[in-house]
Structure 1
Amino acid sequence: MCYSAEVWADYHKYVRAYGADIDIDAFVELYLRRAGDPKIKIPKGMDQRFLHPETRGAIEIRALIQSYNATFVQNSEQELFKQAKRLADAERVLAGSKSTKKAANDQRIAGNKVKQLKRWITDGIRTMPVPERDDRIFPDWYAPVLIVEDGRPIVRPMRYHCRPAGMDPGIDRTKRGQVSGTYNARRDNLTRFWRHQFGHTHGLMVARVFYENVDDGAGGSQELQFIPSTAENLLIACLVSHWTDPAGLLPDLWSYAAVTDDPEPEVAAAGHDRTIVNLKPENVDAWLTPEGRSVEELLALMDDKQHPYYEHRKAA
C-alpha cells in the first residue's frame, strides 16, 4: 500500500510538465469547504501556490487561506496554553512525594501535545517552504491530480481516498471508524471492485517519495521512507471517481486511489508487500486516455512500468 507520499502539491508543476489547464473553480470550492469544515486536510505546499495570486479565483483562495491560518493558529495557541498548564501541574506532582500514575500519564500526553502544537503554530505562521513536510499527504488529504477531460489535460484537487461513484459514503470507514483501504487500488482487483473506474477514469499523481508502515520485528511497526536511488519523480497510476449524492444532500466528491502491484524486490526485503505502479513517461498519455483501450493494453502499460531501485530508511 502507499499510505503516504510527498507529492507535487503545487499544481503549476503539472501545468509546466504536461501543458495542463487548472480547474480553478474546483480549487475555490475546496477552500470554501475547508473554511467551514476543519476536517478537510490540504497540504501546505498546495496553499503556497496561492501566496502570489494572479487571477480573481486565486485571490479569493489566498484570502481563505489567510483566514484559515489565523483561526488555526489562534485555536492552537489556546490549546497550547491548556496543555502547557497540564504539563506543569503533572511535573509538579511528580516532583513531590506523592507522584501518581495519572500525573505520569498527563506528563506524557501533555508533553507530546505541547511539541505537536508548537510545530503546528510554526507551520501556520511560516511562509518559507519545507517540501518534505509541506508536500506530504495521507489518506483523506487533498492534492492536485492530472486527468484528461474532453481531450484536454486538467489539474483538479482530489481527495486521496477514493469513494467509487454510486457507493454509499460509509465505504470511507471500516466498522471501527478507521480509514478504509480504498486509497489504494490493488492491481489484482482492478477488473472486479474497481471495474467502473479501471478503463474509464484514470489519473496521475506525481510524487518524490512514498512511505509505508512495516513490521519492526519486535511486535510493533515502523515507518519507512522509500525513494528512487536516482531521485527521479514517481509517475503514479491512479483511478479517479466523481461521486455525487443521489439525494443531493452531500457535496460532490472528486477522489482517487493509487494503483499498487506486487512489491519490487527491495521493497519486499524491507518488509512490505505492495509497491505503487510507477508509469514510464512515454506511457502516461495512454494511461490517461483509457476509453477504447482493451484490458490487455492497459495491463501492459503497468507491466512496462519503471523499476528504479527504491532505497529506504526509517522516516524521521
Structure 2
Amino acid sequence: MCYSAEAWALYDGYVKEFGADIDIKAFWELYLGRDERYRIRNKQSDGHKIPKGMDLNFLRPKTELERKIQDLIAEWNGTRLAESQAELDKQRERLAAAEQKLATKPTKTAANEQRIATNKIKQMERWIADAKRTSHQPSKDDRIFPLWYAPVLIVENGQPIVRPMRYLCRPQGSDPSTDYTKTGQVSGKYNARRDNLQKFWRRQFGSTHALMLAETFYENVDDGKGGSKEIQFRPRTGQTMYIACLYSHWTDPKGKEPDLWSFAAITDEPEPEVAAAGHDRTIINIKPEHAMAWLTPEGRSDEELFAILDDKRHPFYEVVKEAA
C-alpha cells in the first residue's frame, strides 16, 4: 500500500509535460471549501488537507480567480499562524513553570512537563517557519497522505486537464461513511489492487483513469520489534514516477454533501527490492509512452489496459531512509 508520496504539487510541470489545461475553478472551489468547512465545524476540523506545495501555485497570481485563491490561502495561513503563535506562547509558559519547579524541587512530573513543552515548542517553531516560507521544498511541501489533495492528470474531451483530487477514492454510489473502517481508521481505498480492478473497481477501471506524477513514495513496514517503521523509496534512475490511478466524481444523491473528486493509486505485487525491505505491494509506475493510452481508456479492452500495467517500469526502488 502506498500510504504516502511526494507528488507533483506545482501544476506547471504537467503543463510543460503534457500541454495540460488547469481546472482553476476546481482549485478555487477546493480552497473555498476548506475555509468554509473549517468555520462551519467551529474549528473542530482542519478542513481539506492541502499540501503547501499546492499553495505555491498561487504565489504570483495572473488572473482574478487565482488572486481569489491567493486571498483564501493568505486568510487560512493567517489563522493558522495566530493559533500556532498562541500555542507557542502557552508552551513557553509551561516550560518556564516546569523549569522553576525543577530548580526548587525536582520531580518526575516536572521533568516530564519540561520534556513535553520543549518538544511542543520545537514543533510550533517549525510550523510557524514553514507557514512563513515562500521557497519550494518538495520533500516538505509536496508530500501527501490519505485524505490529502493533490493535482492529478486526466483527459476530458480529448484534452489533458489537471484537477485537484483527494487521495482516497470514494466511488460514485458509496456512502461517505465508507471512507473509514468500523473502528474509525481511514479505509484502504487510497490504493486500488490490480487483482481487484475487475471487481470492486469495475466502474472506474476502463472508464475514469488518472496519472499522479511523483518522485518518491513511503511505506510502513514491520520493524521486527512489534512495531513499525517508515521507509522512503526512490527510483534509482532518478526518473519521475508515472503512477497509474483511478478516479471518481462522487455526487450526493440527496444533494446535501458537496461533490467530491477523489482518486486511488493502483498497486501490484511488490518489486523484489520492496519485498526485501518488508512491504508486500508496489505502486504501478507506467512508461511515459503509455500515458495517453492509459488516460483514454474508453474503447480499449481490459487486455489492452492490463498490457499497459504489465509493461510498467522497473527502476529499482532504493531505500532513501528509514525512520522508527
Instruction: Please classify the TM superposition score into its range, dividing by the shorter chain length.
Output: over 0.9
Aligned residue in 1 for 2:11: 11
RMSD over aligned Cα atoms: 1.5
**1:141-166 CA deviation, whole Å, 9 max, x = no partner?**
11100001121111000001111111
In structure 2, what is the Cα distance between the partners aligned to 1:184 and 1:314?
A: 23
Match in the other structure for 2:75: 67
Contact kept? 2:211, 2:243, Cα under 8 Å = yes
Indicate the SS of the match to 2:58: coil
Task: Describe how 1:278-293 pairs up with structure 2 within 5 A.
Answer: 278-293=285-300
Distance 1:108 1:186, change over 3 A: farther
Q: C-alpha displacement at 1:113, in angstroms?
A: 2.3
Shift of 1:109: 3.5
> Which AA in structure 2 matches 1:56?
E
| 1:86 maps to amino acid | R
* CA–CA distance in structure 2, aligned partners of residues 84 and 181 of structure 1: 39
In structure 2, list runs of 5 or more residues that go unmatched. 39-45
Percentage of identical aligned residues: 64
Cα contact 1:174–1:180 (8 A) shared by 2: yes
The question of 1:298 aligning with 2:280 is answered no
The CA deviation at 1:131 is: 1.3
State the partner residue of 1:44.
Answer: 52
Distance (Å, rounded) in 2 between the aligned partners of 1:104 and 1:288: 57
* Aligned partner letter, 2:187: S
Closer, same or farther: CA 291–173 of 1 in aligned 2, 3 Å? same
Deviation (angstroms), 1:186? 0.8
Shift of 1:305: 0.2
The unaligned stretches of length 5 or more in structure 1 are: none
Matched, 1:22 2:22: yes
Deviation at 1:299, TM superposition (A): 1.1
Q: CA deviation at 1:70?
A: 1.1
2:273 to 266, 270, 275: 266
Letter in 2 for 1:131: P
Aligned positions, number: 315
* Aligned residues of 1:222 and 1:314 also touching (Cα < 8 A): no
Q: CA deviation at 1:91?
A: 3.8
Question: In structure 2, what residue type is equivalent to 1:224?
Answer: I
User: Which residue in 2 is equivalent to 1:150?
Assistant: 157
Distance 1:21 1:294 in 2: 28
Q: Is 2:172 the partner of 1:170?
A: no
TM-score (norm: length of structure 1): 0.96
SS of 1:49 mapped into structure 2: helix
Please give the residue correspondences for 1:1-316 in structure 2 after superposition, counting only pairs within 5 Å. 1-36=1-36, 37=38, 38-97=46-105, 99-100=107-108, 102-315=109-322
In the aligned structure 2, how far is the partner of 1:112 from the partner of 1:258? 35
- Residue by residue over 1:223-268, the C-alpha shift from the partner in whole angstroms, topping out at 9 and shown as x without a partner, is 1110011100000000101011111111100000000000000000
Conserved? CA contact 2:191–2:265, under 8 Å:
yes
TM-score (norm 2): 0.93
